[in-house]
Each structure stands twice: as C-alpha cells, then as structure tokens.
Structure 1
Amino acid sequence: MSVRKVRYYLYLKDVLLLSLTSFGGPQAFLAMVLETMVRKRGYIREQELWELNALCQILPGPTSTQTISAIGYRIGGANLAYLSLFVWILPATLIMIGAAFLIDFLQMNTPGALTFSKFIQPMAIGFIIFAAQKTIFKMVKTTEASVLMMFSVFISFFYNSPFIFPLLLVVGGVTTSLKYRNLPKESADKKLVIKWANFYLWAGILLVAAVLGAVSQFRGVILFENFYRNGSLIFGGGQVLIPYLYTEFVEFKKFLSSQEFLTGYALSQGIPGPTFSIASYIGALSMREDGFVGMLTGGLVAAAGIFLPGTFLIFFVIRFWDQVKKHRPVKAALEGINAVSCGMLVAAAFLLFEPLDANLFNIAAILGTYVLLRYGKLSSPLIIGIGIFAGVIYQWVVMGVFQ
C-alpha cells in the first residue's frame, strides 16, 4: 500500500473515531479536530483549520460536516472528501433512524409509549434557548442586527410558512450589505476566477428533485427535495435548522407530531456526530406508512438531502473564497443573514413550546435544563440521559404502564 493510501486510510479512521466520540457540540468538535488532525496527525496546519472553519460557518449547511469535508478535500481531493462525508454522517444517521423505528414501534405496541419523553420534550426547548443565547451574543452586535433579529422573530412566529424563511434571509442580507462602505477596503491580489461546476451541480440537483417530486408525487423524492432545500438555506448550525424542520414537517405537512419532533430533537442532543442527523429521524417517521423499507429509505434520503448541498457549496466556494471575502458587500451581508437566523432560533423556542401545556412542570424542566447547560458541568448526553431515566421512572411509577 502506498504512503498516500495509508494517509487516506488513517484520515478516514480518524473521522470515524470523531463521529463516534464528538459529544458536546461544535466547540468540543473543533477542539477534537485540532488535537487529532492538526497536532497529532498534521493533516493541515492550525491556521488552515481556523480559516476553513470560519468559511464553513458563513456558508449555509452543517458547519462540522463541511469542515470535515473541506479537510478531506485539502488532503486528497473530492474523492476523499466524499468518503469522509459518508464516514462522518453514517453513525449518527443510523442511530437516529434506529430511534425513529423505536418510537414508531413503541407507539404501535405500548399505550402511552411516549410518556417516557415527558421530561425530555420541554428539555429540548431548554437546549434551544441555551443555543439561542450563545448564538445571539456571538452574532448580534449592532442596532441594525438587533432590529433585524426582532423582525425575524415576529415574522417567523406569525407567518411560519417554510417559504418565508428564504425571503427573510435575502431581506436580512440585502439590508446590511447596503452599509458596506462602513467597512475598510481590502485590495484583491488578482482577478477573481470562479469555477462554476459545483454550483451547477448543487443547483441542478435542486431543480431536478423539485421537478421529479412535483411530477411523481413520490414521498421519497419529495423528502429529498425538502431536506436538500433546507440544507441549502441554513445559516448558523443545527439549532437554526429546527424552526425550518418543525414548520415544514410538523405544522405544514403534518408528517409527524409535535411530541415526536421534540422527542427526536432531544435525543439528537445526546448522540455524537452532526446535529443535522435529526433529519434522518424526521425522514424515517415521514415514511412510516410504507413499513420498514419505507422508513429506512426516508431516513437515508433525508440524510443525503440535508448533507449534500453544504458539501457542494463548500467545494464551490473554497476555490475562490480568499478573494471574494475581501469584497465589502459580501462581508456586510453576513451580519444581516446571521441576525435573521438568530431571530428564527428565538421563534423556534416559542413555536415548540406552543403545543405543550404551560404548566409549572414544563416551565421548570425548561429552566432547569437551561441552568444545567449554562452553569453546570454536566455534558449534554448526560443531561438527556437523566431526562430519559426520569421519564421512564415516571411512566413506571405514576402511569403504571409496565405494571
């Protein structure tokens, strides 16, 4: 085996290890990548890692997945990048598909099955509030951004159609791009050259999926288009994905219930790997009427749809980003896009709380989760595990389901 192939094999092995051990969100993920891929293996330099991660953060799509793919691209080109994407998302995808099978089985065979999730449903909202706080402090720093965020909260809550979100992002980006003259000028070193192949690939798949879905009305194709579209629009990470998915699949299409959605979101916080893997859970439950094969198909199709567009876009932009980032309107537009994304995240907390009873128990569970995340030293998986355990005890002692 050549030295290059050994290097590629080691890289994929490291990616698999990360996918099985990266608990704790993007900060923990980045620390593990720094330790394993920069300091231990030397695949890329530390400065390269920060630059790639910064680029992925301002592109739509799953940041951690794009970072892994971009590192693979730098090491071995497109083939290694696609392999690393597959290895990275597979464990979390299979776990969340398995969770969908379990939830569906319990509901079909056990009365009051989801009572065990009594605690983790409001806890999921606590996770979103904590994520919203961190995101807002990081991304909203001006009066204009604050106004855009509040505007986004209002529109996202009262007009929560999946078609309103892209419009909000455009409005936010255009609004702040108009003040680009306030930013210092940066001179471009050379003429901007753009290779459009991956952009055409991204746009072509989106168009073909939309047409095929409209013509065939096959739910698998429709799901792929839905998730592909959402994966093309998400700025701000997995938490910002939640209002999109909740609006489209719970309120608009009614493929799953609010209770099922909240349970799946909470479970996704307790597993390693990319947070976008909740798409596999939603996709599987969306095709439960077609049995085992349908649920498996729905989960895999959803995973492909949510993860592929971000990969195509990072491959497209990485070739010329060093030049385009110097254009002031581009940098200025990011402020508005991020502010609108924060507003959507705040609206998501309200939307997800609406179906729950506004009782003392739910409010205490939400606040307790937030306090543990904000001030405690417990990891997210441990907090979710405690919630599941408490729910099982409640179901056993109070509801008497297992008696």
Structure 2
Amino acid sequence: MNDNEKKQFSFRTLFEILIVSTRLGLTSFGGPVAHLGYFHEEYVRRKKWIDEKSYADLVALSQFLPGPASSQVGIGIGVARAGVLGGFISFLGFTLPSVIVLIAFALVLQKFNITETGFIQGLKLVAVAIVAHAVLGMAQNLTPDLKRKIIALSALVVILLWNAVYSQVFVILAAGIVGYFIYKNHEVKEHHSKIHFPVSKTVGGVCLTLFFGLLILLPVLRDITSIQWIALFDSFYRAGALVFGGGHVVLPLLEQELVPVGWISEASFLAGYGATQGVPGPLFTFAAYLGTVIGGWQIGLLGTAAIFLPAFLLIIGALPFWNVLRHNNKVSGALMGVNAAVVGILIAAFYQPIWTSTIREPVDFAFAAVLFSMLVYFKLPPWVIVITGAAGGVVLGIL
C-alpha cells in the first residue's frame, strides 16, 4: 500500500469514527451507565472495533480515573482504532451535539429572561429527582461496608460545615490517604487480558505531566493575571480533574466554583443542570451551558474544552501504564476511599444548593417525588422526566 492509499485509508477510518460517534452523541440518553451500554452494542457487537475483554478493561480504567467515564471509554476506543487523533475525533462526535443544544438553550434563556418562571422551577425539580437517584445508586455501589460509610459521612459533615473553595479538594485527598491505609491489603481481582493501544509511554508521560502541571499552574496564573477567561478555564479544568464517581459529582464542584463569586445565579445554574439531563451525550457538557450564560458561546466552548481536557490527558496518559496500576493494591485502596467520599460530597450538594433552593413548598416536594418515581420505579427515560418537569413547572406556576 503506497502513501496515498494509506492516507486515504486513514481519512476513511477517521470519517467512520466521526459518523459512528456522532450518531451515539445524538442518541445516547440516560447518563454514563446507559452510555456504556450503547457503546458496547455499537463498538463491540456491531462494529467489532474492540473485543469483550478489552472493552471491560477499558471501562475499568475509566472508572479508575477521575473524569467522565463514558467519554473516556469513547476516547480510548477511538485511540485503539486510529491513534490519538482517532480518540479526539471520537470525543468530538460524541460531545458536540449536546454542546450545541445546551449553548442554544443558554442563549434563549438569556434573551427572554425566563430564569424565574415556572418552567425553570420545573427543571430545578428535575435536578432534585436526578441527583436523588444518583445518590442512592452511588451509595449502594461505593459504600458497601461500614468503613466506607464512615468515610462518606465524614465527607458530608466536612463539606456542609466547611464551605471553602478547597474543601472538596481536601476531602478527596484525605479520603484517598485514609483508603490507602485501610484497604492497602485488600485483594485485587486478576484480569488476564491486556490492552494494546498505539500510545507510547513517552506520550503517556507527557500527557500525565501536562495534567498535573496545569492543575498546579492554572491557579497561580489566575492569581497573577486576574484575567477572567483564565479564572474560568481554571475553575472548569479543576472541576473536570477532580470528579470521581460519575458526571453528577461535577455539580457540587462547579457550583462552588461559579455561584459564590457571582458568575451565575443558583436559579440559572440548577435550571441548566436540569436541562442537561434531557439531552444525549455526556453530563460534562453542562459546562457549555454555564460558560454561555457567563460570557457567550465563546466562553461556552472554552468551558467545554477546559472541563474535558483533564479526561483526555488522563486516558491517553494512563493507557500505557494501566496494566501495572490495576494490580496495585495500594492504588486501588486509595481509590476506594475517594469513591466513598464522593458519595458524601454528592449528598451535601443534594442538600445545598439543590434542596434548599428548590423545595420551598409541599407542592414542590410532591412533584419532585412524582418525577423521582417516574425515573426510578417506572423506568422512564430522562428526557421524558425533563419534559414532564418543565411542563409541570409551568402548570404549578399558573396555579
């Protein structure tokens, strides 16, 4: 095969990745767990781009790392198919549809100034139902024993009583240290398959260095320059870098970064979070809405890039080293502690700001209970919950 044929094949492969990932980005409703099911059906069963064991290993890696698990799995599959560029194309296709929708929603919200209407109250009640569901599911999976329940409770108490910028970072680090000592001798399940991706250890090392370098450097630049877009990039990047346990956990991190400083109101923040549940694709695209409300569509794109950049750097950086890390009991133990703390952080966010700013009257609680039951017991898709919440909010506003 000559160079032109290789180039044509490469372009054809990248275009195929873009088409498939965009189709998933347009149709993957239901959050990270549902996304992984869609990915398995498309990439493993239909396209056969990756085998069952490698897919399971890639999911395990994405759960191990902070960031949006489903997006990282999609990036990893793109890397396996066509290198780092393939990973970026896969990410772009899966993410762009919901980014466009949420930017448009934010622009409409601002133009017509509807942040205090019944429609917005309905979306805030959707957020109550969605986060309550996430709390229950994560608590069951991530705090199965008494020690991890105590870690979660401690995290909850600290976050509620110590409302500082770095309180969540402190809680996550402390939980990792506690988990390291408590669970360092636990058994790690053996896996016999190995993942082979076209990423060298040099490239992986550069990506991991960039990840940690930006995490340290951006706050310094923020203080030195006092430039708003750098401050926003730092806030979104840090939120994306510290999210363990799924997309819902980004809610308290972003709320603490953006609402107290006055960049966005709590009403607009929660309305956007509720709307995000009704679009397909990753929950991290919430950043597109937030950035647009704060400074227009350009800041929306900046926020999107900033919040997803840690996930991209981590998955590319970790792929060459995963087979070593996965069998390390101490690393796994630290992660168990972090995941337990995440449950406490999310419960704290459920109370403040979601519950305290949304459930103001008995009718609010009653409608939130109906939405929760539709989601959990009737197993209705999230977009149905969002539409019902918005419509119900309008009706309650009239009454």
TM-score (ref. length: structure 2): 0.90
Unmatched segments (≥5 aa) in structure 2: 193-200
1:274 aligns with 2:282: yes
Instruction: Select which of 177, 180, 197 maps to 2:180.
Output: 177
Q: Quick check: 2:17–2:89 contact (8 Å CA) kept in 1?
A: no
The AA in structure 1 aligned to 2:186 is L
Instruction: Select which of 246, 264, 267 maps to 1:259.
Output: 267
Q: Quick check: 2:119–2:393 contact (8 Å CA) kept in 1?
A: yes
Q: Quick check: 2:125–2:389 contact (8 Å CA) kept in 1?
A: no
The structural deviation recorded for 1:276 is 0.8
| CA shift in 2, pair 1:43/1:207, >3 Å | same
Instruction: Tell me what 2:370 maps to.
Output: 368
TM-score (ref. length: structure 1): 0.90
The AA in structure 2 aligned to 1:264 is G
| CA deviation vs aligned residue, 1:25-61 (integer Å, no higher than 9, x gap) | 1222112111111111111112111110111012111
Instruction: Select which of 55, 65, 69 maps to 1:63.
Output: 69
The structural deviation recorded for 1:209 is 3.3
The structural deviation recorded for 1:211 is 3.6
The structural deviation recorded for 1:204 is 3.1
Instruction: Select which of 376, 380, 383 maps to 2:382.
Output: 380
The AA in structure 2 aligned to 1:71 is I
Q: Quick check: 1:186–1:327 contact (8 Å CA) kept in 2?
A: no
Q: Quick check: 1:103–1:114 contact (8 Å CA) kept in 2?
A: no
Q: Secondary structure at the residue paired with 1:283?
A: helix
Q: Count matched residues.
A: 383
The AA in structure 2 aligned to 1:343 is G
Instruction: Select which of 223, 227, 242 maps to 2:232.
Output: 223
Instruction: Tell me what 1:290 maps to.
Output: none
Q: Secondary structure at the residue paired with 2:73?
A: helix
Q: Secondary structure at the residue paired with 2:66?
A: coil
Counterpart Cα distance in 1 of 2:191 and 2:391:
57
Deviates further, 125-134 or 254-263: 254-263
| CA shift in 2, pair 1:387/1:329, >3 Å | same
Instruction: Select which of 35, 43, 57 maps to 1:29.
Output: 35
Q: Quick check: 1:220–1:297 contact (8 Å CA) kept in 2?
A: no
The structural deviation recorded for 1:203 is 2.6
Q: Quick check: 1:161–1:248 contact (8 Å CA) kept in 2?
A: no
Q: Secondary structure at the residue paired with 2:310?
A: helix
Counterpart Cα distance in 2 of 1:75 and 1:188:
22
Instruction: Tell me what 1:292 maps to.
Output: none
Instruction: Select which of 60, 77, 83 maps to 1:54.
Output: 60
The AA in structure 2 aligned to 1:114 is T
- Which consecutive aligned stretches of 4+ in structure 1 deviate over 6 angstroms post-superposition? 185-189
Deviates further, 195-204 or 313-322: 195-204
Q: Quick check: 1:123–1:365 contact (8 Å CA) kept in 2?
A: no
| CA shift in 2, pair 1:38/1:124, >3 Å | same
| CA deviation vs aligned residue, 1:273-329 (integer Å, no higher than 9, x gap) | 011111111112222xxxxxxx11210111011001111011111111111221111
Instruction: Tell me what 2:222 maps to.
Output: 213
| CA deviation vs aligned residue, 1:98-136 (integer Å, no higher than 9, x gap) | 1111111121xx6x7533222221221111010110111
Instruction: Tell me what 1:320 maps to.
Output: 321
Counterpart Cα distance in 2 of 1:6 and 1:357:
52
Q: Secondary structure at the residue paired with 2:117?
A: helix
The structural deviation recorded for 1:187 is 9.9
1:136 aligns with 2:143: no
Q: Secondary structure at the residue paired with 2:224?
A: helix
1:350 aligns with 2:351: yes
| CA deviation vs aligned residue, 1:337-379 (integer Å, no higher than 9, x gap) | 0000011111111002112353201111222222111101311
The AA in structure 2 aligned to 1:49 is Y
Counterpart Cα distance in 2 of 1:3 and 1:314:
25
1:237 aligns with 2:240: no
Q: Quick check: 1:279–1:299 contact (8 Å CA) kept in 2?
A: yes
The structural deviation recorded for 1:201 is 1.8
Identity, % of aligned pairs?
A: 28
Q: Quick check: 1:144–1:176 contact (8 Å CA) kept in 2?
A: no
Instruction: Tell me what 1:9 maps to.
Output: 15
Deviates further, 308-317 or 25-34: 25-34
Unmatched segments (≥5 aa) in structure 1: 288-294, 399-403
Instruction: Tell me what 1:126 maps to.
Output: 129
